[in-house]
């Protein structure tokens, strides 16, 4: 009798990978723990609605960082590009249709402002892609420089003060069938990403480039073109995020959401996107966004009960930084263990 084949774990029969399943369990556990600790505030409908309109801002940005990380790079300029896009859109709205402006109809000006925001984000992304793919600057240095460039341009355009307009409030506070519009935008981007990365040649090329750039080049993939398009997509996502920024805050300023870069990187790492490129899923990213939102809101509630409000405001940033370091250390240890196991099997 031939020896029986080793039994596969039950998780292998599920339509999701182990990392996605692990993140789903983590999200549920975080939600249940904070619901038990704060039954009168955390699981309430009001708090759930509040969280639903908070996470799309940085969740959308995380998709822009994700596509850059999949290629083996990073985009640290995405918040600066988003704010610049929001500023340009706000200028168009206030100068053409606002009080004291040219008096044009909002029906014409609003679409123009939205298109301008997407165009600005696209130009920023293409410039990043050009520096990385054609000039050959290391992504972290290129986008660190352009982050300052885009933020500086925002200060030059605005002169410092925020530009206020409520003409996109229908996006920031509106809903469709009870679902906030920012949430719809977030999941629409997630759906597009899922198709793009899993059902197109471009998606395959992105994963190939991030896994092994040399092998991708010898297999016929135009690495420069893939990099350029990837950073353009990140810029386009930044333009969408800028629209959401303006719609949610009813104002645009160069330094809005300064901590969102750290948060976006944390979400990508927690969601299983490899910081060396070539690995990561949309489902993992979405679950990471939800986990971070549950954790951030729950910790803020706890801190407000234990410490003064001034300390509680900054505790979330401390928690994000600590969690990022913890996740990266654990990821490194897991990768090292897998390499040792692979070496043992081959030897």
pLDDT tens-place string over residues 131-141 = 999 998 999 99
Both structure tokens of 3: 């020896």
Taking alpha carbons only, the member of 124, 31, 32, 35 closest to residue 80 is 124
28-45 pLDDT per residue, tens: 888 888 888 877 777 788
Between 177 and 339, residue with greater pLDDT: 177
pLDDT for 103 beyond 70: no
pLDDT of residue 14: 43
pLDDT of residue 237: 95
pLDDT for 177 beyond 70: yes
Q: Indicate the average pLDDT of the chain.
A: 83
Taking alpha carbons only, the member of 22, 16, 67 closest to residue 271 is 22
Taking alpha carbons only, the member of 226, 287, 330, 272 closest to residue 66 is 272
Q: What is the pTM of this model?
A: 0.84
Query: Domains in the chain, please, with CATH?
Result: 45-288 (1.10.3470)
- Find tokens 């999200």 and name the residue: 27
d(CA 311, CA 299) in angstroms, rounded, equals: 12
Helix (H) or strand (E) holding 254: none
- Find tokens 């699981």 and name the residue: 43
313-337 pLDDT per residue, tens: 566 666 666 666 666 676 667 666 7
């Amino acid at each position: 009798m031939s020896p029986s084949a080793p039994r596969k774990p039950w998780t292998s029969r599920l339509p999701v990978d182990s990392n996605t399943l692990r993140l789903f369990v983590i999200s549920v556990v975080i939600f249940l723990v904070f619901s038990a600790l704060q039954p009168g505030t955390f699981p309430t409908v009001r708090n759930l609605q509040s969280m639903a309109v908070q996470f799309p801002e940085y969740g959308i940005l995380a998709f822009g960082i994700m596509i850059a990380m999949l290629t083996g790079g990073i985009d640290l300029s995405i918040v600066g590009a988003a704010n610049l896009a929001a500023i340009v859109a706000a200028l168009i709205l206030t100068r053409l249709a606002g009080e004291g402006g040219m008096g044009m109809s909002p029906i014409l000006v609003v679409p123009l402002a939205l298109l301008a925001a997407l165009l600005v984000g696209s130009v920023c992304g293409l410039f990043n892609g050009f520096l990385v793919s054609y000039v050959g600057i290391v992504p972290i240095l290129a986008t660190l420089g352009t982050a300052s460039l885009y933020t500086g341009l925002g200060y030059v355009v605005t002169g410092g003060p925020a530009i206020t307009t409520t003409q996109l409030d229908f996006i920031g506070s509106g809903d469709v069938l009870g679902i906030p519009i920012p949430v719809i935008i977030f999941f629409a981007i997630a759906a597009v990403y899922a198709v793009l990365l899993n059902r197109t040649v471009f998606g395959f090329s992105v994963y190939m480039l991030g896994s092994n750039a040399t092998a991708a080049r010898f297999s016929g993939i135009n690495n420069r073109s893939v990099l350029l398009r990837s950073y353009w997509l990140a810029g386009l996502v930044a333009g969408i995020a800028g629209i959401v920024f303006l719609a949610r805050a009813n104002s645009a300023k160069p330094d809005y959401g300064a901590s969102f870069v750290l948060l976006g990187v944390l979400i990508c790492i927690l969601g299983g996107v490899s910081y060396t490129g070539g690995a990561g899923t949309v489902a993992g990213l979405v679950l990471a966004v939800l986990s971070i939102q549950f954790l951030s809101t729950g910790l803020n509630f706890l801190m407000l009960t234990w410490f003064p409000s001034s300390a509680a405001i900054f505790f979330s940033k401390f928690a994000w930084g600590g969690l990022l370091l913890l996740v990266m250390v654990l990821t490194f240890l897991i990768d090292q263990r897998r390499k040792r196991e692979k070496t043992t099997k081959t030897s």
